[in-house]
Amino acid sequence: MVLGALAAVLVVHTAAHGTGVGDAAYLIGNTGAAALGWWALGTVDRARRGAWRLIVVGVTANALAEWAWQVHTWTAGEPPTVSTADVFWIVSYLALFAGLLQLLHGGSSERRDIDGLIDMAVMGIVAVLLVWPYAIETVFADDTVSRGVQAVWVSYPILDSILFGLVLRALASRRARTETSALLGLGAIAWLGADFAYMFVASAPSYSVWLDNGWIVGAVLIGASVWQRADRQPLDERAPERVGVGRIALGFLPLLVPAGLETWYFTHGDEINPWPLLVATAALLALGFARSLRLARAHDRARAELELRERYYETLSRHASDAVLVLDGRGHIRHVSPSPTAVFGDSTQASGFVHPDDLELALQTFAQAIEHPGLVFECEVRARPNGDGVSWYAARIISLLHDPNVEGVVVNLHDVTERKVLSAELEHRAFHDALTGLANRALLRDRVEHAAERAERTGGGLALVYLDLDRFKLVNDTLGHDAGDEVLREIARRLRRVVRRSDTVARLGGDEFAILVEDSRHARREAEHMAERIVEILRTPVRVIGRDVTMSASIGIASDLESPAASLLRHADVAMYRAKDAGDGVPVLYDPSMRGGVAERFELETDIFGVVERNELRLVYQPVVALETGALVGFEALVRWDHPGRGTIGPDTFIPIAEANGSIVPIGQWVLREACRTASHWQRAYPEARGMAITVNVSARQLAHPDFVDDVERTLAETGLAAGSLVLEMTETVLVRDAVTTAQRLRVLHDLGVGLAIDDFGTGYSSLSYLRQFPVDILKIDRSFVSGITGAEFPAILRGLLDLGRTLQLETIAEGVETEQERDRLRAEGCGFAQGFLFATPLDAAEAELLLVELEPGVLPWRRARESRPA
Ligand code: C2E
Ligand code: CA
Ligand code: CA
């Protein structure tokens, strides 16, 4: 429709040129262009409307100028030399410039703006130079008009030159090409063409109809360009502008123009005023210089940034050999950096380096990455064996096939062999008894649960044999601990011999063992039979340090499916105590009438409800010290239950009960509030304590509670403790359960500034990969590792844990430090902090308060790690 109207206007105008009808058509064309612009402005989104509005104002001012000119011509009978029309025209230019500039530079960096302006100025100057002798010098030479009129006339070629520079610049910029539509460019070119043509052929009336048509077309095109199609491609905010030969040439080639012009006039025998050429050359030189200077600066800056980044990555990968591969869509290696030929050999296919057993996983992950371009997929695979053991790599795969800068699948390989070895060792430790190599309590419980499930499905049976050595303490006391350990090892060996392969033998601690009999229809009978055999094999004396020791055991058996699997252990335990009481070495089978040992637990279970209301809980505080300086840095809050009838009960006894029946939630809230309140009070009372940390234990069930994060936030607000002073401790088990929700909650807390520590690190599930999923700050190395430090020995696994902390930039706190030797060795191996009886036992609040003056004011030492770590 717009096209139809435009064609009609053009036809009428051309046919009736020089008449009133022709003039009317001209005015209608220009006015219509402005109206079109205002209407189209409604389709522009808010962010860009300002720029486009300026352009529409430009078109409108142009229409007003035309009207003013016409009215003048009609009333005066001849065209005016200078009139209000010129004011509108100049406004029209200015509005157009402003709008174009905004479109061109909207959102881009200031630096690029300046470069763009320089380019524009260069092109503007060239344009002015080209039109100078025709449009400017002649005007100044014309003495019949005043200086003022001369100035107005001269301003047009100059404004046109600037517009010319702007349009050229817009066409050269990738960014602006997407932003300003082709219509706008065409419109501006139509206007410019008509303007420049006018300067050269102003006096020839036969052309003027075509010039007028050019102006109409220009106005309508610009008006129409405002209209934005809804499906326009979103603009690429960061379309990079390359600094190539072209851009540099742009700075200097224009310098040829003045000399070229001079030569031209010289060979044509024209006289020319040299001053404009000289001034222009100087200006172009200055601009070219500024442009090169900025290019050089930008280049230096880019290089410095690159170096910084390289150094950063180098630091990060110092512990391991990272490699980046770029593959094509079928897995062919296109690029490797840096090229660890030892890993890749001369294979050209990435799969050639993966261990055959992990190939399927690798290919699956690769296929997923291809399917979801732009998303990162991860897997851990072994490298194809090449002589020196197994190497593990964590691979992060992202498909950037669609990205024109890469057009490949990027694979980042990170050597995780050390971590895998450590993790395998920790896992073994987590489920096995270090002394005998038998399963431990955790593994046994796990096996019992699985066996119970299986038995329920298949109708098979299961039974548990529980044995406790009689008078074992005597062996320890008379022959020493080493002899005691040897006896335990020998008994473990014998127990292994009496069981079938499918049975599990476990050491539950001290001198207690258990055997799970599963997958047997006659489990109970088999267990009884096994118990007899055990009695039998114990008759043979054990020979240690040249002496024969004869051991006996009390044996209990449980075999029931009605009650939950967990009670199987408890029932076997109860039966074993019966056997011990009887003292005749005869194995005892559990029956429900034996409740004895359970009673105590029942009592606590009921008593524990309401401990908070009855005010029976109390906190004690164990100091945490920095190993390097020996300075006190904070306290761990530990809970105690002052039971009215039974005296003080430790958390190891009542926390599991509280966790089982849910009363841990109010207990945990109380502990948190009390600890924060005390710490806040200390911080206010002692200036030295301002940088002090208070660490609070949190159990799984607390964290699982939906209000937990809110609780912490509220408690901090109400007690006035800074989030940065609080550290929450939780065990690995907490993290493994419902990892996604947990990670979310922890992230919120971490963002608040609360520190997070992994308690008893190394004893749990030990899938070390969770350390990267959770925002952890501190690893608390479990006491069992610390007590492994003896004489010259520093356990390799402890060194591995400290190393892991360093690699992940986490602080480490060693728990349960009891001797100076342990402290010194830990310090030498780079452990940051410690707590333990060597420094102080858990103290009452009043005792702890006496230590506060020893605190060193300042930032919490372990927060430094967090702040220096990149997000
Ligand atoms: P934990 O978090 O590993 O706390 C350290 C335990 O080791 C404390 O026992 C402490 O008294 C003891 N300990 C400290 N230094 C040494 C040392 O040098 N040698 C030895 N042998 N032991 C040392 P406690 O206070 O009986 O706490 C036992 C466990 O109960 C804690 O282990 C923690 O898991 C849990 N617990 C304590 N308070 C709370 C609490 O408020 N909430 C929750 N959910 N759990 C708590
Ligand atoms: Ca703890
Ligand atoms: Ca601990």
Which pLDDT band, with edges at 50, 70 and 90, does 179 fall under?
very low
Rounded to the nearest angstrom, the distance between the alpha carbon of 689 and the centre of ligand 3 is 24
For 361-394, write each residue's pLDDT tens digit. Answer: 999 999 999 999 888 899 999 988 777 778 888 8
The β-bridge partners of 414 are 394
3-state secondary structure 303-363: HHHHHHHHHHHHHHCCCCCCEEEEECCCCEEEEEECCCHHHHCCCCEHHHHECHHHHHHHH
Closest Cα to residue 751, out of 777, 780, 778? 777
For 546-578, write each residue's pLDDT tens digit. Answer: 888 888 899 999 986 555 666 788 888 888 888
Q: Which ligand is nearest to the CA of 651?
A: 1
Cβ neighbors of 706 (< 8 A, separation 6 or more) are none
Query: What is the distance between the terminal CA atoms of the chain, rounded to a whole angstrom?
Result: 56
Nearest atom of ligand 1 to the alpha carbon of 729: 2
Q: Please give the mean pLDDT across all residues of the chain.
A: 82
Nearest atom of ligand 1 to the alpha carbon of 698: 44
The strand order across the sheet containing 553-558 reads 504-509, 512-520, 461-469, 553-558, 588-589
Q: Which ligand is nearest to the CA of 760?
A: 3
**pLDDT score recorded for residue 236:** 41
Rounded to the nearest angstrom, the distance between the alpha carbon of 730 and the centre of ligand 2 is 7
**Which two tokens mark 829?**
């191996």
- 608-617 burial by CB neighbour count: b if 16+ within 10 A, else e? beebbeeebb
Which pLDDT band, with edges at 50, 70 and 90, does 637 fall under?
very high
**pLDDT at residue 4 above 80?**
yes
Q: What ranges in 173-273 are assigned the alpha helix state H?
A: 174-179, 182-201, 205-225, 245-252, 256-267
Rounded to the nearest angstrom, the distance between the alpha carbon of 671 and the centre of ligand 1 is 14
Which pLDDT band, with edges at 50, 70 and 90, does 614 fall under?
very high
DSSP, residue by residue, 492-522: HHHHHHHS-TTSEEEEEETTEEEEEEEEETT
The span from the CA of 626 to the CA of 643, in Å, is: 35
Rounded to the nearest angstrom, the distance between the alpha carbon of 668 and the centre of ligand 1 is 15
**pLDDT at residue 318 above 50?**
no
Give whole-number Cα distances, 498 to 286, 503, 536, 538, in Å. 96, 10, 10, 11
> 383: which DSSP letter?
B
Closest Cα to residue 215, out of 50, 405, 6, 414? 6
CA dihedral 282, 283, 286, 292 (to 10 degrees): -120
610 three-state secondary structure: coil
Q: What is the pTM of this model?
A: 0.53
Which pLDDT band, with edges at 50, 70 and 90, does 108 fall under?
very low
**Which two tokens mark 295?**
């290019």
Place of tokens 């008893």: 760
Who lines ligand 1 at CB under 6 A?
622, 638-639, 650-652, 655, 668, 671, 697-699, 759-760, 783, 815-818, 835-837, 842
For 489-503, write each residue's pLDDT tens digit. Answer: 999 999 999 888 888
Which pLDDT band, with edges at 50, 70 and 90, does 408 fall under?
confident
**Count of residues making up the chain:** 871
Which pLDDT band, with edges at 50, 70 and 90, does 406 fall under?
confident
**pLDDT at residue 1 above 60?**
yes
Which residue puts its alpha carbon closest to atom 8 of ligand 1? 638
Q: Which of 9-13, 18-22, 290-294, 355-359 has the highest mean pLDDT?
A: 355-359
Place of tokens 């919120």: 748
The β-bridge partners of 516 are 464, 504
Average pLDDT over residues 786-808: 84
**pLDDT score recorded for residue 719:** 96
**pLDDT at residue 596 above 50?**
yes
Write out the H or E segment, with its range, that includes residue 297. helix 274-316
**pLDDT score recorded for residue 501:** 84
Which residue puts its alpha carbon closest to atom 12 of ligand 1? 816
Place of tokens 């109206």: 35
Q: What ranges in 41-172 are assigned the alpha helix state H?
A: 46-76, 84-105, 110-131, 137-141, 147-172
Average pLDDT over residues 67-82: 84
Measured from the Cβ of residue 240, the count of other Cβ atoms closer than 10 Å reads: 9
**pLDDT at residue 746 above 90?**
yes
Average pLDDT over residues 109-114: 56
**pLDDT score recorded for residue 48:** 75
Which pLDDT band, with edges at 50, 70 and 90, does 235 fall under?
very low
Which pLDDT band, with edges at 50, 70 and 90, does 81 fall under?
confident
CA dihedral 855, 860, 861, 862 (to 10 degrees): 140
